[in-house]
């Protein structure tokens, strides 16, 4: 974000001197000094947030992921019918 900031002469001189010593731009030095003054709340995240990667589950064509509960019911019904045929209900 671009903004106008009015610094006291002594603060600007200290920031410029420190930026030269560290070999960074004045802008970087000002941002660093403000972050240090504000504490951990102003620090940028140390690493990017995790990404969600899509994954193919390798289901056969015709199996609808939204109807897996129905598939389980059908498989259980088949198992129960097999048990009843074998006389183990």
For 57-84, the pLDDT digits (tens) are 777 777 777 888 888 888 999 999 998 8
Hey, is 9 helix, strand or coil? Answer: helix
Rounded to an integer, the average pLDDT of 47-61 is: 79
Confidence of residue 43 (pLDDT cuts 50, 70, 90): low
Please give the share of the chain, as a percent, with pLDDT higher than 70: 91
Non-local (6+) Cβ contacts of 75 within 8 A are none
The residue ranges of every structural domain in the chain are 9-42
The closest alpha carbon to 17, from 9, 26, 5, belongs to: 26
Q: With 0-12 CB in 10 A as exposed, 13-18 as middle and 19+ as buried, what is 78?
A: exposed
Rounded to an integer, what distance in angstroms lies between the CA atom of residue 10 and that of residue 17?
11
Q: What is the pLDDT of residue 22?
A: 93
Segment holding 39, helix H or strand E: none
Q: What is the pLDDT of residue 41?
A: 65
């Amino acid at each position: 974000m671009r903004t106008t900031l009015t610094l006291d002469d002594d603060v600007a001189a200290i920031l410029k001197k420190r930026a030269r010593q560290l070999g960074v731009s004045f802008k970087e030095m000002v941002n660093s000094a403000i972050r240090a003054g504000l504490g951990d709340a102003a620090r940028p995240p140390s690493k990017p947030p995790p990404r969600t990667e899509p994954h193919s589950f390798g289901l056969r064509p015709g199996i609808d992921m939204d109807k897996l509960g129905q598939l389980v019911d059908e498989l259980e019904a088949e198992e129960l019918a097999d048990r009843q045929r074998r006389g183990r209900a």
